[in-house]
Amino acid sequence: MTDSTVISVTNLVKKFGSFTANDNLSFEVYEGEIFGFLGANGAGKTTALRILSGLLTPTSGEVIVAGYNAKKDPEKIKKSIGYMCQKFSLYPDLSARENIMLYGGIYGMPKVLIKKRTEELFEKLNFREYGNRMIAELPLGLKQKLAFSVAVFHEPKIVFLDEPTGGVDPITRRQFWEMIYETADRGITVFVTTHYMDEAEYCDRISIMNEGRIVALDTPEGLKKKYNAKSVEEVFVRIARPVNNQPHPPAPSHR
């Protein structure tokens, strides 16, 4: 892990009408880091993730991703990131090979390179026998791994994972995280949102969002020490739950 910054967010605000989804966020993510983005549903995680990936433009504040400004150059950001969403993002009626070919092509990779990397990938995943099968026929765990491999296939600087392990059994989740580690070791920054608190423990650093704000940001160890908790889950419950159970008050414009 080096100290060069790949994501830099300063005073980010995103409003939908009168509702403030992201209230003055500021944080940095470093190259090769696994950055966990936690928060209850509706805390503003997804909005922040969409701004970082160029899908939404911020209302105000500065967002720099992979060296590009999210307001001015969202198209350039799109070329340097990978994305995997909570829903399953491969086409079930195309084979593994065809899916890879499609996404590789969309990211402008030359055919020869796509073919070469496909072979390497299948070798690594022991996937060769499945290569020409339709995605719909594959077990969920394999699909998940493949979806992740496709998201980093074009060697992006950053890969965004939006709740990537939803509905997967613990063993597959474990294997999935091994892939994430390996990817981070290659220097690809991993930005992951998750519900699972045990997964948060695997991250290098985590941020916890509540009501549109970042209420905590540190290493899992650091947070546990600060809140005198045994696990990240305890930290999360202490910070996020009490407010979350009450009806939403109107979001203040500034604190």
**Residues in touch with another protein (CB under 8 A):** 50, 53-56, 75, 78-79, 81, 83-94, 98, 101-103, 105-108, 151, 160
| Strand partners of residue 169 | none
Closest distance of CB 181 from another protein, Å? 23
Closest distance of CB 144 from another protein, Å? 13
Instruction: Return the number of other C-beta atoms located less than 10 Å from residue 198's C-beta.
Output: 13
φ/ψ of 72, rounded to 5, equals -90, -40
Rank residues 166 and 237 by Cβ distance to another protein and give the closer one.
166
User: What is the three-class DSSP state of 145?
Assistant: helix
Closest distance of CB 92 from another protein, Å? 7
Q: What is the Cα–Cα distance from 40 to 47, expressed in whole angstroms?
A: 13
Cα angle at 71 between 47 and 11, to 5 degrees? 60
Q: What is the Cα–Cα distance from 86 to 92, expressed in whole angstroms?
A: 16
Rank residues 94 and 215 by Cβ distance to another protein and give the closer one.
94
In contact, 162 and 85? CB cutoff 8 Å: yes
Rank residues 12 and 84 by Cβ distance to another protein and give the closer one.
84
Closest distance of CB 154 from another protein, Å? 10
| Strand partners of residue 30 | 5
Rank residues 87 and 254 by Cβ distance to another protein and give the closer one.
87
Amino acid at position 45, single letter: K
51: left (phi over 0), alpha (psi -120 to 50) or beta: alpha
What angle separates helix 96-106 from helix 140-151, to the nearest 10 degrees?
20
Rank residues 150 and 240 by Cβ distance to another protein and give the closer one.
150
Q: How long, in residues, is the chain?
A: 255
Rank residues 107 and 227 by Cβ distance to another protein and give the closer one.
107
Closest distance of CB 53 from another protein, Å? 5
Rank residues 83 and 236 by Cβ distance to another protein and give the closer one.
83
- CA distances (Å), 38 to each of 11, 89, 183, 187, 235, in order? 19, 22, 20, 22, 11
Q: Name which of 63, 65, 60, 58 is nearest 83 in CA terms.
A: 65
Closest distance of CB 85 from another protein, Å? 5
Closest distance of CB 225 from another protein, Å? 36
